[in-house]
Chain A
């Protein structure tokens, strides 16, 4: 008799821990995404998130092949991507979206080929594409917390320079800043974000985590900082609403979060139009 009562209780506690960890991980990611997402939108670099995500797939494959934690493989690949892009765009021979497209799809294709050729590698493609935020471990959360902390500190420290670099790279340089440093800080922070968020929301939806809350915040904001704050709130609300929805209906978690961000985008645009 005692067994029949304890098993459901244990299950309930375990289930709650799943949800709690997912909420924590999602919230941390939403906070780190807020300033980065705004910068991505302002700089028209939405494609960078996609491109780094695609490169991340090769990172996953290499990580599995070399027996490294997946996040290390992804971080290495995303970092390499950031460096290459920072350097390649300096030359201005190609538009940035062309460079990103070349590297992203090369990395994606190589990743898929490597994953298929290595005999011991079992790449769960669906999981790589859509993530598994509900399976995040406490250890995973600590890694995400540390990574997000680094992102927020670096962005906070360089905030004025990043805004100047966004407004006019020439103005930044004339006033004594470095364009290369500006690009490196931004792309490396973005690469780190991709590595952190990859396993939670998957390759397909990383850019959505960045762009949707920022875009939704735009009609309601009058300053860059306001836009970051509002997009953080929208990101957090989306994570809570999306995970609860996923919990109740069994819908996939990552996409559910993004669906709520999309809703926020529509509402804020309607609301912003009324304000005007």
Chain B
């Protein structure tokens, strides 16, 4: 049996007197697409940041599979205008790379033309794609993506999800991401984790969208998502057949 990439048990994170996360158990297996959904302030970004090691745990433990390579895209990156740096140089900061790897990654995320552009001049959507290119460059076992589709228009968003599917098919990369597009999440994820400080419910998309906890959190939108889910799902299976 293969070890999980990430195994989190009883994770608790505090900020002063406030508990941002408590009693969170989480497992990500190789090749799985896991999406975290939840309302604002539910601790979604904190959960990702605690997994990459940027936020200290106040209780619980997180085990990573030995030698796990993570590709991470932060929710936002403050590009300092005072730092002159081209997209190409930014990518090279990911470490020692084989020749052509940078161009290849930029082509995958549709921003090859921005190679020599200055990072500070990029739009929000372009920056997201460059960040994703950098995450892919590292040939990660696990992509951790914090709202990766923010700033993308709808065609770009569709291409983005296609890219994730391709990357997974190609190299078995698992994905753990935070997303707000409920209907897409329900169609594209293998597993959904509904978070609100703690894990309200988790499981296959159909299972979660039927869960009372989920419906309570998302209210009317949940029903919509459930409906959309059916629609998207049948569409998806047509594509695959």
Query: Which A positions have Cβ atoms within 8 angstroms of B?
Result: 41-44, 93, 160, 163-164, 166-171, 173-175, 179, 215, 218, 221-224, 226-227
Contacts and interface: CB of A to CB of B under 8 A. Distances in A.
Chain A interface mostly: helix
A218 B82 contact: yes
B69 to A, nearest CB: 8
Given A179-B54, A222-B86, A170 B80 contact: no
Contact of A169 (B16, B54, B71, B84): B54
Contacts of B138: 175
10 contacts: A42-B82, A160-B95, A163-B85, A163-B93, A167-B79, A174-B71, A174-B144, A175-B95, A223-B86, A226-B84
Contact of B80 (A164, A166, A175): A166
Given A167-B90, A168-B74, A173 B53 contact: yes
Contacts of A218: 82, 84
Contacts of B94: 175
Contact of A224 (B70, B74, B89, B144): B89
B72 A171 contact: yes
Given A41-B82, A93-B16, A175-B72, A170 B93 contact: no
Nearest to A43: B80
Contacts of B134: 171
B74 A170 contact: yes
Contact of B93 (A160, A179, A215, A226): A160
A173 B51 CA distance: 10
Nearest to B45: A170
Contacts of B77: 167-168, 171
Interface string B56-72: 00000000000000111
Contacts of A224: 83-85, 89
A251 to B, nearest CB: 30
Contacts of A171: 72, 74, 77, 134
B52 A170 contact: yes
A224 B134 CA distance: 18
Interface core residue of B77, B80, B83, B93 (most chain A CB under 10 Å): B83
Nearest to A177: B53
Contacts of B78: 168
Contacts of A168: 74, 77-78
- Among B16, B49, B85, B144, residue most surrounded by chain A Cβ atoms (within 10 Å): B85
Contacts of A164: 93
Contacts of A179: 54
B118 interface: yes
